[in-house]
Each structure stands twice: as structure tokens, then as C-alpha cells.
Amino acid sequence: MLNSYDIGIDLGTANTLVYSKAKGITLNEPSVVVMDTETKKIVAVGIEAKEMLGKTPEKIVAIRPLKDGVIADFDITTEMLKHIMRKASKKIGFAVRKPNVVVCIPSGSTSVERRAIHDAVKNAGAKKITLIEEPVAAAIGAGLPIDEPVANVIVDIGGGNTEVAIISFGGVVAYHSIKVGGDRLDEDIIQYVRKEYNVLIGELTAENIKKEIGYALVDHEEKKMDVRGRDLVTGLPKTITLSSYEIRNALKEALLHILEAIRATLEDCPAELSGDIVDRGVILTGGGALLNGMEEWLSNEIVVPVQLAPSPLESVAYGTGKAIQYMSKLQAAVK
């Protein structure tokens, strides 16, 4: 069993979470690092760093070291992990010795990508490292009976990618992953505002728009929001009013990609498990699952019950921490 010193890490494109059996989720910080390009020193990590996005002078850059769920910058990821594990150690109290760590990885990651994650966590100060596939961790965290011979369908919409998996008897039966997630939705909003209004907005503004007036459902009660950005013609600040109908239109293409991935996975499901899916439905996890009307829209499209996991943002982190007890049954999902 997991002892109180050991931790689970959800190393996500948007956020990194740390779970310990003794204290639950002990840390939840944005996966952002701010670095001084001249001295190569880390200026800020996590929450402080995210607040600096788009607001730093030229020699100070904000970097997201993870892209599409995998490591894009090894050295900076290692530094970020060191900071996160140091911070977690103060809260949990394993500063005396190196912790054993369970860390999640995308199901479709290559052996090179898996090795990079393993090495980054080891360099950050871990003793023993166990890798677990993200959809399996999400399913465990959502409380699904993954060790039983029934179909558990999990849709994990993260920052960098969306993973859809059917898990039965401790293994992944069918699986699809696409590089479309919350970051892509933000990018689509930025491009829409630029194209339609000739106004440039930043990542944080786009994320706020998505949370406030972003909808998956076409039919919804219209909401409006005032947004400030830079007019690309005059170069001066400008305020515009956006409608939730416009934002739904801007997000349409990305949402259809997610829908296609879910349909493709359900089509790959063995006939014996199809009946379970009709009865048990689909569970949504990840930050993207919190988009307004996501459950209802997906349920209408795939004609199967869809529901949110109890804690969509924390499901993968909970799963990494609770995975230890499933280890013997997770041969296919754990490396």
C-alpha cells in the first residue's frame, strides 16, 4: 500500500497536481515557468508564473515546458518538478528522504516520451518511479471499477490533448488520443477575435472568455461579455462585446474533433462490452469537461448517457495516488 510519504503526480500541459494519501491533493499549480533568458535562471514557477503570462519584459519569458501532454523542454520541466516537489515536501513532510512517485503519462506516448518523463521526475528527486497511463488514472480517480470485466468509458479533456479510452478488467480495450484540448479552445478564441474584430487578446483573457461564455451546446441562453484587447489597426487598447453564440461558433471545429475521437473509440469497442456502455455511459474528466453544456451536448450527439466525474480537474491526480492498490491488476496500463 501507499505509505504517507509517497506521492502521485498528474504532470499536465495546463496544471501539475500532487496527491498524497495522507493529505489528498496537496498542490495544484499551473505548468508554467518564467525564466530570465540572459542568466538562464528560473524567476517564478506555477501560480506566480501564470500571472506573468504576456506581461513580462523581453529578457523574461514565460514558458510552458509541456506540450500536448508530453515534455517539450526537458531541463525546464525538471526544474519545474523540483520546485513542485520541494513545495509538496513542506506540506507532506517527506523532506528527510526521497519519495516514491507514481506519475501519469498519455496512453499514446512513445518509449522516448515515457523515458523523458521518468528521467525528469528522477532528476527532480524521486526514488522509485512508476508510470501509469492517464485514462486509467482518470478512471480510478473518478471511482470507476476498472478491475471488473465491464466497460468503463473515460473521456479526459486536458490542456494539451483529449484521451478517450474504454477500460475493462484493468486494461485499455480501445483508445484514441487527439492533440485538441483546453489550450486549443483558447487559441481558437484568440484567432476568432483577431479575425472578426481586428483585436489582439492574450491567453489569460481567452481562458476567461471560455470559462464565462464558452458553450458546447448550440441552443443556450445567450450571454455577453466585455473584453479588452489591443486594436491591431490603431495599436490602442479597445473594448469589445462578445456573445456566447459567437464563441460557440469559434469552438465548433475543435469540439467536433473531440466528438470524432469519442465516436471512433466507441466503434472500436468489442461487441460484448457495447451493452455496458449503453447502461453505464461515458464519464468526463479534465478541465475541458467543465465547458458549459458539455455533458448535454455530447449525450445528444452519441446517444449514450454522459456525466461529469465527481472532481473532473483532480481525477487523474487522485487516480495516480490510488493506483498502488491496483498495481497487480494493471499490468497493461502501468510501466
49's CB contacts (< 8 A; 6+ apart) are 30, 32, 33, 34, 43, 62
Flag whether 207 is marked binding: yes
Flag whether 208 is marked binding: yes
Flag whether 28 is marked binding: no
Flag whether 302 is marked binding: no
Flag whether 14 is marked binding: yes
C-alpha cell at position 148: 471488473
C-alpha cell at position 83: 520546485
Flag whether 288 is marked binding: yes
- Distance in angstroms (rounded) separating the CA atoms of residues 58 and 102: 37
Flag whether 124 is marked binding: no
230's CB contacts (< 8 A; 6+ apart) are 199, 200, 236, 237, 238
Binding residues for ATP: 13-15, 207-210, 287-290
Residues tagged in the binding site annotation: 13-15, 207-210, 287-290
